[in-house]
Structure 1
Amino acid sequence: MADPLRPGFWRLAQAHPTRLACVDPDGTEYRAGELLGRANRLVHALRGMGLRTGDGFCGLTPNGADGITLYLAAAQAGLYYTPINWHFTGPEIAHILADSGAKAFVLHERYAAEGLRGADTAGLPEAARIGIGRVPGCTELGDLLARYPDVTPEDRTAGLPMHYTSGTTGRPKGVRRPLGGLDPDDAAELITALFHVFGIEPGPGHAHLVTSPTYHTAVTQFSTTALHLGHTLVHMDRWSAEEALRLVERYRVTSTHMVPTHFKRMLHLPEEVRKAYDVSSMRWLIHGAAPCPRAVKAEILRWWGDCVYEYYAATEGGGTVSTPEDWRTRPGSVGRPWPITELMIADDQGDEVPTGEIGTVYMKMYASDFEYKGDREKTAANRLRGFFTTGDLGHVDADGYLYLSDRRADLIISGGTNIYPAEIENELMAHPEVMDVAVFGVPDDEWGQQVKAVVEPADGAEPGPELAERLLRSLQGRLARMKWPKSIDFIAEMPREPNGKLIKRRLRDPYWQNH
């Protein structure tokens, strides 16, 4: 019999079937044995539909047990599982279905209109469509599972998620890794190595709060790793700062994954609301996906204590981690490489730059390879001597700590001088009247580009010339005047993805359309 103390959902669920494994946003609770049975039934169902090792299927589901069931089925049937962004329109969904080669599509009734439009556009037959709830033309998931036993499937082999990149520069691309033919239990144990980087412990008595949509790579990785360590997953349906605090207190949450936007909105809660909830159970408050302004990070550390960890990573693999102690001694750093990651900073000619000099950040994760599905050209273009890049700029110090400057696509060149928007955004975000900010270059006939800031005011702050003047004055003595925005516009809500990534092109493109 497998050692029940070793990590891996299937081992733990068989040993402790009554353990609370998952809580849906509406409060519905699922025991480990129940999740295990559902996942086993789904494996039998997918195989009955003709799916075989190496095939893929897609899911368009909200956060909760249904999405976890899809992941667990793929992970023990040798399948690729692609969760789809539920904000996508029909044509965007069709692209994912067709590009991934999906042999099945699981669709929640909440997203039925666009999901069915996507399935029709992609030419997916009705026999390959599975509905959760009432979805026309789809076999209902509950009815489908009822046809099959919950016994452990034969010929188990590890599958993988295949996430699509955010597509900030063109259509999303699937990041596909080769299947290794591992036993699913052994693969699950290997997956938990991610949490070792942060010092996260296995076993009962831990709960992980899922604050963002699980179609994002990091959210999937953190939540499923927690599940394989025997932690309870507590799902949010949509972000609410106060609801997050309530759930931390209610379930004694010990770990979570957030983005800086979450921090900012929690910090803007009234003091009496923040003090009303006991968050002392939190031991690993992990954040990433977007740069965190130093002032915001310092405030969160003061409030939550030394449980705030930062990381830098990519869907393609590899990353860095910064502990609370690291950040206090090297504020602004995103930490040192994971034990399985190597960094390289290179110039435009592909040569490695000296320590401290800014260049393009390249990463390599050992024993892990990937391709952008169906796009060998892009796969090759982003590689350099076995390393890959997502286009970020940065430098490392003498001790190997990484500091990010910006994305290459966002770099402003004004009068021949490089200006990094992230540096300006950092300073403006520290202002109490700013909820969110984006800085980018706009056309300037004399200088090539000039600095533009778009600000989402905090609650109670009145947008207009007076606020703009106060924000500019706040930069006095903190930024060289050449970096000050030449103008500030205001917006009701910043266009960010739910994982915190700013969709800057939506703000920038209108200024360049007629240039």
Structure 2
Amino acid sequence: MVPSMVVFLLDYPDFAKYDLSSLQTIFYVGSPMPLDLLKRAIKAFGQIFCQGYGLGESGPLATFLNREDHVTQGDPQVLERLKSCGKPALAGEVRIIGDKGEEVKPGEVGEIILKSQRLMKGYWNQPEKTTASLRNGWLYTGDMATVDEDGYIYIVDRKADLIISGGENIYPREIEEVLYTHPAVLEAAVIGVPDDKWGETVKAYISLRQGTTATETEIIDFCKLNLASYKKPKTVEFLSEIPKNASGKIVKTVLRDKYWSGREKKV
């Protein structure tokens, strides 16, 4: 299931009435699971979660984080793995590379590229996109990540989602992780919007939990307490529901289009 489905299950009014003892595994995929949400889910369901990362273009599973890694107490180094998407799966190869194609060092941000026998031949009737994505037998995913000394991979954000404001790189996922710790926030999506002075500024879209309230000022101040000041949202918009596709994944292109349609990105 995707993270949005976990949100709806945990917030279901009669959740506590059900006996979940026979449930053995919950596999989540599709988009990053906010850490605070994942901890809530483990507390509610138990240590039965597994995570996979992959793309349809390369086969269903490139990395895997097993149940044993879904711990919320103990060694801080082990707990850190809860933020990761696991280690490379057996069915293919995974590399994280810098701008010049070099392997990044542990902790450095680079792009995930994948190779497997299930790799696609190309995008239908999109030769330019195919050429940009497939190079020398590798799929360039557009997903930015780091790797630790033990080989665990940590997704930072989509390359296309990166916000550059006043020359500073801002990853929306970091801001979203903070927003999900606010008690009134049900779901959050952060994008960059055009700004004549800074190139882009940070905008947050939020849907609130039933029966809660929050203001734009309150949300911005909350972020300021937990992030560097330049990363905090400049504006916040509240929606009854954040746009999603048929599989339940948040669709940021819908949110961005009204700001960027008809203009080139300036950064």
Q: Report the TM-score when normalising by structure 2.
A: 0.88
Match of 1:390 in 2: 141
CA distance 1:474–1:324, shift in 2 (3 Å)? farther
Q: Is the 8 A contact 2:83 2:154 kept in 1?
A: yes
Shift of 1:477: 3.8
Shift of 1:514: 6.7
Aligned 1:110-125 pairs, distance under 5 A:
none
Q: Is the 8 A contact 2:27 2:52 kept in 1?
A: yes
For the residue of structure 2 that corresponds to 1:406, the secondary structure is: strand
Aligned 1:231-380 pairs, distance under 5 A:
258-270=1-13, 273-316=14-57, 317=59, 318-328=61-71, 329=78, 330-365=81-116, 367-372=117-122, 373-380=124-131
Bigger radius of gyration among the two:
1
Shift of 1:374: 4.0
Match of 2:74 in 1: none
- Number of residues of Structure 1 aligned to a counterpart in Structure 2: 252
User: Which of 132, 149, 156 is the matching residue for 1:405?
Assistant: 156
Q: Distance in 1 between matches of 2:104 and 2:89?
A: 21
* 1:473 is the counterpart of 2:236: no
Match of 1:82 in 2: none
Q: Distance in 1 between matches of 2:47 and 2:118?
A: 32
Match of 2:254 in 1: 506
Q: Which runs of 5+ in 2 are unaligned?
A: 72-77
Q: Distance in 1 between matches of 2:162 and 2:224?
A: 22
Measured against aligned partners, the alpha-carbon deviations of 1:157-196 in whole angstroms (never above 9, x if no partner) come to: xxxxxxxxxxxxxxxxxxxxxxxxxxxxxxxxxxxxxxxx
CA distance 1:374–1:508, shift in 2 (3 Å)? closer
Give aligned-pair identity as a percent.
38
Q: Is the 8 A contact 1:327 1:333 kept in 2?
A: no
Measured against aligned partners, the alpha-carbon deviations of 1:98-117 in whole angstroms (never above 9, x if no partner) come to: xxxxxxxxxxxxxxxxxxxx
* 1:436 is the counterpart of 2:179: no
Q: CA RMSD in A?
A: 1.8
Shift of 1:321: 0.9
Q: Distance in 1 between matches of 2:23 and 2:140?
A: 33
In terms of fraction of residues, the more helix-rich structure is 1
Q: Distance in 1 between matches of 2:37 and 2:43?
A: 10
Q: Distance in 2 between matches of 1:404 and 1:426?
A: 13
The one-letter amino acid paired with 1:512 is: W
The one-letter amino acid paired with 1:508 is: R
Measured against aligned partners, the alpha-carbon deviations of 1:351-389 in whole angstroms (never above 9, x if no partner) come to: 332222111111112x33321234444333212332212
For the residue of structure 1 that corresponds to 2:223, the secondary structure is: coil
For the residue of structure 2 that corresponds to 1:450, the secondary structure is: strand
The one-letter amino acid paired with 1:296 is: L
Q: Is the 8 A contact 1:334 1:403 kept in 2?
A: yes
Shift of 1:348: 2.6
* 1:420 is the counterpart of 2:168: no
User: Which of 448, 454, 459 is the matching residue for 2:205?
Assistant: 454
Further displaced range: 368-377 or 277-286: 368-377
Shift of 1:508: 1.1
Q: Distance in 2 between matches of 1:349 and 1:300?
A: 40
* 1:490 is the counterpart of 2:238: yes
The one-letter amino acid paired with 1:259 is: V
Bigger relative CO (Cα 8 Å, ≥ 6 apart): 2
The one-letter amino acid paired with 1:266 is: L
Match of 1:193 in 2: none
Q: Which runs of 5+ in 1 are unaligned?
A: 1-257
Q: Is the 8 A contact 2:220 2:234 kept in 1?
A: no
